[in-house]
């Protein structure tokens, strides 16, 4: 970054799958733009590694890494590059990931810099690793059956302890949308898939690119360990905690 570049304010927004963080981020950025603030949104989901890259991880490290989601399946260097680039004058390409085909969009979205505010939103934005002792016991069937020796979860935790912390260290503030418990995440994620199906049908694309409720139930197990850890640990240090009910409404503590 050049010495004359203006550093944008970088705010993190963490929330479980389906909690409404993307909607909130986009709405907030739009309102700020109306007031003259140059605001942009970067989703952690849009930093997912390509399908080919995840397949290489699955072959070389652990088969579960073929599935997007956990730390270790994102391109953190790309995220850091975006944070640097939006501070400079001129266009920056924000990456986009197409979940309907499970791969990165080749085009992305262009924003003109420098921006004043970047919202970094994602299900594990700002998360910290677990103690090694916490990794010994599986939290669900996925871990019991497909990661019996804990190799996958140790890799995930190790990556979270490494380059992800460099990314999260760039945050100037952290907001947590706190789900009432992990049990609601499956329902929220199913609702997301139904919304995606409706959008695909409206554009003439096949809706079978989305997940069934049964597939969602299996998929959210990839997120369970770290989501539970976030809900237990992050409220004590986040700058703002918005506690949600099952309908995603903010409730009083």
Residue ranges in the chain assigned as alpha helix (H): 21-34, 51-60, 76-85, 141-146, 151-161, 163-168, 183-202, 213-219, 221-233
b/e code 224-244 from CB counts within 10 Å (16+ = b): bbbbbbbbeebeeebeebbeb
Residue 182 domain-assigned? yes
Mean pLDDT computed over 46-55? 97
pLDDT value at residue 252: 75
pLDDT of 253 over the 70 cut: no
User: Three-state DSSP class for 105?
Assistant: coil
pLDDT of 211 over the 90 cut: no
Residue 123 domain-assigned? yes
pLDDT of 3 over the 60 cut: no
Residue 1 domain-assigned? no
Distances (CA, A) of 137 to 37, 69, 149, 215, 229: 47, 20, 10, 24, 14
pTM of the model: 0.91
pLDDT value at residue 241: 97
Residue 2 domain-assigned? no
Domain that holds residue 192: 9-243
pLDDT value at residue 192: 82
pLDDT of 1 over the 50 cut: no
Residue 238 domain-assigned? yes
pLDDT of 209 over the 90 cut: no
Tokens of 216: 């969602």
DSSP code, position 112: E
Residue 44 domain-assigned? yes
Cα of first residue to Cα of last residue in the chain, in angstroms, is 42
pLDDT value at residue 164: 98
- Give CA–CA dist 141/130, Å, rounded: 20
Q: What is the CATH number of the domain that holds 167?
A: 3.40.50.300
- Give CA–CA dist 44/21, Å, rounded: 11
Tell me the pLDDT tens digit for each residue of 6-23. Answer: 689 999 999 999 899 999
pLDDT value at residue 199: 83
Residue 249 domain-assigned? no
Angle at 231 between CA 225 and CA 232, to 5 degrees: 90
Domain count, the chain: 1
Residue 251 domain-assigned? no
pLDDT value at residue 64: 98
Which residue do the tokens 């603030």 mark? Answer: 37
Which residue do the tokens 């096949």 mark? Answer: 206
Tokens of 63: 């088969």
What interhelical angle do 221-233 and 183-202 show, nearest 10? 120
Tokens of 198: 């409706």
Tokens of 117: 């505010």
Tell me the pLDDT tens digit for each residue of 72-106. Answer: 999 999 999 999 999 999 999 999 999 878 999 88
- Listed in sequence order, the residues at least 6 apart from 5 whose beta carbon sits closer than 8 Å to its beta carbon are 87, 88, 114
């Amino acid at each position: 970054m050049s010495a004359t570049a203006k550093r944008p304010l970088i705010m993190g927004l963490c929330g479980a799958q389906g909690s409404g963080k993307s909607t909130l981020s986009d709405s907030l950025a739009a309102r700020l733009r109306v007031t003259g603030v140059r605001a942009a949104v970067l989703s952690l989901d849009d930093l997912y590694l390509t399908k080919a890259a995840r397949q290489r991880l699955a072959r070389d490290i652990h088969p579960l890494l073929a599935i997007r989601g956990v730390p270790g399946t994102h391109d953190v260097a790309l995220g850091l590059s975006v944070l640097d680039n939006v501070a400079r004058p001129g266009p920056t390409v924000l990456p986009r990931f197409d979940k309907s085909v499970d791969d990165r969009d080749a085009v992305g979205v262009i924003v003109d810099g420098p921006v004043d505010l970047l919202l970094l939103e994602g299900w594990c934005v700002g998360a910290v690793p677990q103690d090694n002792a916490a990794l010994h016991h599986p939290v669900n069937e996925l871990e019991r059956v497909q990661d019996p020796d804990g190799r996958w979860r140790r890799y995930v935790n190790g990556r979270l302890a490494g380059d992800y912390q460099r990314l999260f260290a760039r945050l100037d503030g952290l907001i947590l949308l706190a789900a009432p418990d992990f049990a609601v995440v499956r329902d929220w994620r199913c609702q997301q898939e139904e919304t995606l199906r409706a959008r695909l049908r409206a554009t003439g694309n096949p809706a079978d690119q989305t997940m069934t409720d049964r597939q969602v139930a299996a998929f959210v197990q990839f997120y369970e360990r770290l989501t539970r850890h976030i809900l237990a640990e992050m409220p004590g240090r986040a700058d703002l905690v918005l506690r949600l009910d099952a309908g995603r409404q903010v409730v009083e503590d």
